[in-house]
Structure 1
Amino acid sequence: MNQYRAAVLAACLLCATQAPAAPRPTAADAQFRAVYTQEWRWRQGERLEDAEDDTSGIRATLPKIDPATQQARQRYWEATLRKLDAVATGKLSAPQRIDFAVYRAQVAALLENQRFREYEKPLNADSAFWSNLTYEARKTFRTPAEYRAYVAQLNDVPRYFRDQVANMRAGLARGFTPPRVTLQGRDQSLVAVAEAKPEATAFYKPFATMPATIPVAEQASLRAAALAAIRDHVIPAHAQLLKFMREEYVPNATEHLAAERLPDGRAYYQSKIVEYTTTDLTADQIHQIGLAEMAKIRAEMAQVMRDVKFDGDLPAFLHFLRTDPRFYAKTPEELLMRAAWIAKKFDAKAEQYFGRLPRSRFAVIPVPPEQAPYYTSGRGGPGVYLVNTYNLPARALYSLPALTLHESAPGHAFQMPLALEQQGRPAFRNAYISAYGEGWALYSERLGTEMGIYETPYEVFGMLSYQAWRASRLVVDTGVHAKGWTREQAQKYLMENTALSSHEVETEVDRYISWPGQALSYYLGEMAIVEARARAEQALGGKFDIRAFHDTVLELGSVPLPVLKSRIDRFIADGGKGPYPAP
C-alpha cells in the first residue's frame, strides 16, 4: 500500500510541473507504454470490465471466473506492478506522468481485489452478477453475427453461474460473504427470470425489434434460437441459482456487519478505503471528517427552515417533508416527466458553465421493476438516466433536482461521455474511479445552486439533504465497518440527519453494509473539487473563469484525487488557461 501511495504521489508532483507543449516521447515513455499496452490487451481478453461500463461488442462467451483463472490474474498483476516499478517515472514525458499515476493506482486496486479474493463475494445489496447480465441486452445489435454471438452467450449462462456458485461456496467456507441481513429479498430479481416466459425476460428484448437490414427469415431463425437458449439454459440456470441462494447461501451468510470482522478484515477495509477514495486516510480520520461536515450542513439546513418560517425543530421539519403529499408524485409518469424537465433546465445553463459539451445524449427511463425495490433512487451513465419509480411515497420531488443533476447532467450522463470522447488517450483512462466520478456528480448538485436550478427553499433543502446523505456516509460506513455500529444505529443516523424516506434509508444502509468503502468516495471527492476551485479562485482572482476550470477538471477523465490536485496546481500556474482554445 505504501508503495502504491508513493508511486501515485511522486507522479503527481511531476504532473504539477509539466509544460503546456507536448514534449517528445522518452525511452521511459516507451517502456511504460509497452507495459500498459500488453496488460490492457490481456485485460480486454479476460473480460474484466464492469458489465455496465463494457463498451465492447457482443461476445459469444461470458468471462472465465474459476479459481485457476483468478489466481493467474493475481500473478499477472503482480508481474505488471514489478514492471511498473522498474520505470523511471522522473524520465516520463509530461502527459505520461498523469497516465502513469492513473494506471498504477488502477492496477494496484485490481491486484488488491485478487489478493482478498473479492471474486468469492460477487454480489451486494445493490447489485449482483446475475442482474448485471441484463446490461448486455441493452446494447445496440446491428448484424446477424452480433445476434448469433449473443445467443451463444445466453447458452453459456449455466457454466458462468456454476463457476460463480463454486466461488461463493469458497467464500462461505471462510466467512467471506455480504452480511445475511443485507441479502433478504435480493433474490426477487432471480424469481423474475426463473418464473418468467422466455419472451418476457430482459434477455429477449434485443430480438423483439430487429434491424430491417436482416432478412425476415433470418430474423425468425435468430428469434427461435434466442427463445430456445433462454428456455433451455438461462431460465433453468436462474432457477438453480435461486435454490442455492435460498437453501444454502443466505442461511449461512455471515451475521457480522463489519468489514473488519471478515478474514484479514482490518487490512481488507483499508484496501477498500484506498480503492474508493484514492487517499491514505484511515477510518478514524474519515469518521471525524464526516462529523465535522455534518455539523456545517446542519447549520445550512437550519437557515432554510428559517427561510420558510417553519415553527419546529429539525426532526419535525423532516417529518413534515416526508409526509406532506405536495412533495410526492402521483404517478410514475409524473416523476419521469419532472426528471426530464429538470434535465432540460440544465441545458439552458450549460454554455455558461462549460466550454465543451459532450456529443452524446441520454434517455430518461425507469429502473427495471425486478431491480427497483432494492435499487437506488436513480443512476446515470453514458446514454441513460435511470429513475426509480417504485414506491412513489419514497421519491420526494424536492430532492429530484439534486438527483437529476447528479445522475444526468452535468453529472454522470454528462461527465462520462465527455471523458470517453477525448482523443489520443490510452483506453485504460476510461476506467471509472469512484472518488473522481462520484465527487464530480456530488459537486454538480452544489453547482445547481449557482446555476439557478433550485427554485424553492424546499428544493434547496433537498440538495442539502443529499449533501448530508453523502457526508453521513463517511460516518456510517466507518461506523459500521470499523467502529462496531449496528444496522439500526446506522439507519437512525440517516433518519435524523437527512430527509430521505425510511425506505431509502433502509436500502442505502444495506448497500453500505454490503459494499465496504464505496460510500466514502462521494463526499471526499466533492471536497477535493471544492478545495481545488477555492484555491484557483483565490490565486487567480479576476482571471478565474468557471468554464475553463470545469473544462480542466472534466478533460482529465477519472483520475485519483492527488492527480486532480496537481492538475489544478498547473491550471493556476498557467494563469487559469483551460485545456481548449477560447471560442
Structure 2
Amino acid sequence: MLRFFLLAAVALVGAESARAQHAARNSQLHALFAEEWERGLREIPENASYQGDNRYNDRWTDLSLEAIARREAADKAALDKLRTIDRAALSPADQMNYDTFEWQLQRTVARQGFREYLQPIGHQGGPQTADGLAEVLPFASIKDYRDWLKRLEALPTVIDQTITLLGEGVKAGNVPPRVLMQRVPAQIAAQVINDPTKSPFYRPFIRFADSIPTTERAGLQEQAKQIILARVVPAYRKLGEFFESQYLPKTRDGIAVTDLPNGRAYYDFLAGYYTTTDLNAEQIHKIGLEEVARIRAEMEKIKTETGFKGSLTEFFTYLRTDPQFFHKTPDALLTAYRALSKRIDPELVKVFKTIPRMPYGVRPIPDNIAPDTTTAYYQPGASDGTRPGYYYVNLYKPEVRPTWEMMPLSLHEAVPGHHFQFARGLEMPDAPMFRRTAYFVAYGEGWGLYAEQLGYEMGLYTDPYDRMGQLAYEMWRAVRLVVDTGMHSQGWSRERAIEYFTDNAPKTRQDIVNEIDRYIGTPGQALAYKIGQMRISALRAKAVRELGPKFDLRAFNDAVLETGSVPLEALERHIDAWIESEQTGSGEAGAVPGSNR
C-alpha cells in the first residue's frame, strides 16, 4: 500500500510538472503574440487607428529605407523566436494559434525579397488618398483634432519618403504598369487646392462633435487652414510634379507582374499567399474555365425564365442598359442600399444560431476615390467595439450601378458576409489579438462569396433578376480566375481580359475596366474568392453527406466562422473535427480559441 501511495505521489508530481511546463510554453507564446501585436501598432500607426487604438493618431508609418530595413529584421527575429517554442508542448488551441502565426510570419519574411515597398503608390491608394484615414478617427475630443493636425504637419515627410521609394523603384526596374499610373495624377491634383476649406483633409473641421467647446473650434479651423496651405498643398504639388515629369514616363508598358524582376516567382508566391493553397496558375486557370462554363449554363436557364428572346450576350446588354435596373440619383441609390440592408437583417436567423453583437452601417465611398475604385467594400469595426463596421457603397455614376447586383453585393460586403466574419472574429475573447483581427483572403473572401449564396436559404432572391444578379456575381469571381492568370502568366493583354469579362458577365463596362485594372495592380488577390468559396462549399457538401439528417445548416455556418480567419487547410481540419463531434453528439469541435461552443 505504501508503495502505491509513493507511486501515486510521484505521478502527481510529474503531472503537476508537466502542467507547469505546458503553462509556461503557452505563456511564452502569448507573450510573443502580445509583443508583436504592439510592435505592429507602433510601427504602422494607421493600422492602430483602424483598430480603434488612438495612441498613435499623431503620426504616420515611417517609410524611410532605414525604417523598412528595421521592420524586416524584426519580422525575421520574430519568426526565429517563435521557432524556439516547442509546438508539441502547447494546448490544441495554442497549436492553432502557433500554426496561424507561423504561416503569416513565414510569408511576411518570404515576400521581403520582392521589395514591394518600391511601389508605394497604386491607382487605388497611396499618400494621395491619405485623407481617407479620417473616416475611422473619432474626432470626439480636442486631442483627436490636434492629433490630426500633427499628422497633417508630418505629411511632407511621408511624401518625401514616397518620392525616394519611387526613385529607388525606377533604379531597380520595379515599377507599375503605366495604364494604371495614368489615373494617379488626377488623384494627386485633387489635393492641390487654393481654398483650404475645400481640401479633403479639412473635412473633420466642417462639423464638430458637441463635445468640442465652441470656443476652441475657430482656432482649430484656423490651424488646419494654415497647415493645409503651408505644408500639405506644397507637398502634394511637389509629388505631382515629380510623378508626372520623372516617374510616369518610367513606368512600364506591360501589365504582367512577370515583367518585374523575379516576376514569375513573385506571381507564384502571390497565388499561394492569397489562396492559402499550393495550386499553381495553370491549375487555377483551368478551374476558372470550368466554372465559367458551368455558370453560363445556369444563366441561360434564368434568361429563358425571364422570357427574354435574344442571345445571352444580348441579355447582358439588356441588363446593363435598361433604365428599369438603375436609380437616377446617388441619394436614391444610397437610400435603396440602406433599405436593402434592413431587409436582410431579420432573415439572418434562418441560417445562423450566433448573431454578432457589433452593429454595422452603410456609407457612401468618398467622392475623391469613387471613380477609380470598386462597387463597394467593407471597413471592419474597431477592435475595442468603439466604432461599428461600415459597408461602403459606390454612388459614382448611378446609371452604371444596376439594381440586380445590390442583393449579392450586400450579402457579401455587409451581412452575413464580411461584417459577420470580422465581428465574430472580434468576439473570440480568449484568442490573441492577431487572431481576432486576422484576414486571410481565401477564407474572408471565400466566406463573402459563400454568403451571397445563403440568400437562397434566407428567401431573398425573390425574382429571376435577383437570381441573375447572384449568378452574375459568382461569374464575376470565376472570370477572375481566368483573366488574372491569363494576364499575369499566359500573356493576355488588358483588352483581351476586358473582352473576356464582358462576354461572360453582365457587369457594366465602368465596373469591368476598374476590376481588370485592379487585377493588374494587385496580382493574385482576385484568385482567392472563388477558390475559398469552392472549398467552403465542398466542406458543406461533405458535412451534408456524412451527417445526413443530423446536418444543421445554422450550426455549420457558425462552425465555419468560429475559427476566425485562418488558412483554408486549418479550416478544413476544424470542420472535419466538427463533423466528428456532430456524429458522436459530443458538441465539441476541438481547438477553437475563444469559441463559445
Q: TM-score, normalised by structure 1?
A: 0.92
1:66 & 1:452 partners in 2: Cα distance? 53
Q: Which residue number corresponds to residue 3 of structure 2? A: none
- Give deviations 1:442-501, integer Å, cap 9, x for gaps: 111111122121221111111111111111111111111111110011101100110111
Q: Which residue number corresponds to residue 234 of structure 1? A: 232
Greater displacement, 422-431 / 483-492:
422-431
Q: Which residue number corresponds to residue 518 of structure 1? A: 525
Query: Is 1:468 aligned to 2:475, yes or no?
Result: yes
Q: Which residue number corresponds to residue 273 of structure 1? A: 271
The one of 524, 529, 549 aligned to 1:542:
549
Distance verdict in 2 for CA 1:563–1:254, change over 3 Å:
same
- 1:530 is displaced (CA, Å) by 0.8
Distance verdict in 2 for CA 1:462–1:90, change over 3 Å:
same
- Give deviations 1:23-70, integer Å, cap 9, x for gaps: 995443233223333222222211176588443215221111111111
Q: Which residue number corresponds to residue 83 of structure 1? A: 81
The one of 34, 40, 44 aligned to 1:43:
40
2:371 & 2:571 partners in 1: Cα distance? 36
1:405-554 counterparts in 2 under 5 A?
Answer: 405-429=411-435, 430-554=437-561
Distance verdict in 2 for CA 1:539–1:361, change over 3 Å:
same
Q: How many residue pairs were aligned?
A: 561
8 Å contact from structure 1 (residues 431, 558) kept in 2: yes
Gaps of 5+ in 1: 1-21
Query: Is 1:364 aligned to 2:370, yes or no?
Result: no
1:263 & 1:421 partners in 2: Cα distance? 42
2:209 & 2:398 partners in 1: Cα distance? 36
Greater displacement, 40-49 / 400-409:
40-49
* 2:83 aligned partner, one-letter code: D
- 1:200 is displaced (CA, Å) by 2.2
1:69 & 1:391 partners in 2: Cα distance? 41
DSSP 3-state at the match of 1:552: helix
Q: Which residue number corresponds to residue 405 of structure 2? A: 399
1:122 & 1:410 partners in 2: Cα distance? 33
Q: Which residue number corresponds to residue 28 of structure 2? A: 31
- 1:213 is displaced (CA, Å) by 3.2
2:567 & 2:277 partners in 1: Cα distance? 8
- 1:374 is displaced (CA, Å) by 1.0
8 Å contact from structure 2 (residues 377, 413) kept in 1: yes
8 Å contact from structure 2 (residues 375, 394) kept in 1: yes
DSSP 3-state at the match of 2:428: coil
Q: CA RMSD in A?
A: 2.1
Q: Which residue number corresponds to residue 376 of structure 1? A: 374
8 Å contact from structure 1 (residues 260, 269) kept in 2: yes
2:50 & 2:106 partners in 1: Cα distance? 20
2:341 & 2:112 partners in 1: Cα distance? 39
Give aligned-pair identity as a percent. 37
1:234 & 1:27 partners in 2: Cα distance? 50
The one of 341, 350, 353 aligned to 1:352:
350
DSSP 3-state at the match of 1:380: strand
- 1:250 is displaced (CA, Å) by 1.7
- 1:350 is displaced (CA, Å) by 1.1
- 1:109 is displaced (CA, Å) by 2.8
8 Å contact from structure 2 (residues 351, 454) kept in 1: no
- 1:401 is displaced (CA, Å) by 0.8
Distance verdict in 2 for CA 1:349–1:88, change over 3 Å:
same
- Give deviations 1:351-379, integer Å, cap 9, x for gaps: 12122222222222222111111110111
2:361 & 2:172 partners in 1: Cα distance? 43
* 2:40 aligned partner, one-letter code: R
The one of 295, 303, 306 aligned to 2:304:
306
Greater displacement, 389-398 / 122-131:
122-131
Distance verdict in 2 for CA 1:238–1:207, change over 3 Å:
same
Query: Is 1:183 aligned to 2:189, yes or no?
Result: no
* 1:418 aligned partner, one-letter code: R
8 Å contact from structure 1 (residues 32, 87) kept in 2: yes
1:101 & 1:130 partners in 2: Cα distance? 37
1:482 & 1:448 partners in 2: Cα distance? 35
Q: Which residue number corresponds to residue 16 of structure 2? A: none
The one of 137, 145, 148 aligned to 1:147:
145
2:46 & 2:269 partners in 1: Cα distance? 20
1:481 & 1:127 partners in 2: Cα distance? 21
Q: Which residue number corresponds to residue 5 of structure 1? A: none
8 Å contact from structure 2 (residues 60, 158) kept in 1: yes
- Give deviations 1:417-451, integer Å, cap 9, x for gaps: 23223312211111322111111111111111221
- 1:187 is displaced (CA, Å) by 2.7
- 1:157 is displaced (CA, Å) by 0.3
2:47 & 2:477 partners in 1: Cα distance? 24
Gaps of 5+ in 2: 1-18, 381-388, 590-594
Q: Which residue number corresponds to residue 16 of structure 1? A: none
Greater displacement, 505-514 / 265-274:
265-274
Q: TM-score, normalised by structure 2?
A: 0.90
1:125 & 1:568 partners in 2: Cα distance? 39
Larger radius of gyration: 2
1:89 & 1:223 partners in 2: Cα distance? 55
Greater displacement, 87-96 / 120-129:
120-129
- 1:552 is displaced (CA, Å) by 1.6
* 2:371 aligned partner, one-letter code: P
- Give deviations 1:258-289, integer Å, cap 9, x for gaps: 11111111111122112211112111111111
- 1:132 is displaced (CA, Å) by 4.0
The one of 28, 45, 61 aligned to 1:63:
61
- 1:161 is displaced (CA, Å) by 0.8
DSSP 3-state at the match of 2:392: strand
2:117 & 2:452 partners in 1: Cα distance? 34
Greater displacement, 201-210 / 490-499:
201-210
- Give deviations 1:195-237, integer Å, cap 9, x for gaps: 2522222322222232333332223322222222222212222
* 1:202 aligned partner, one-letter code: P
Distance verdict in 2 for CA 1:212–1:259, change over 3 Å:
same
2:219 & 2:41 partners in 1: Cα distance? 31
DSSP 3-state at the match of 1:363: strand
* 1:428 aligned partner, one-letter code: F
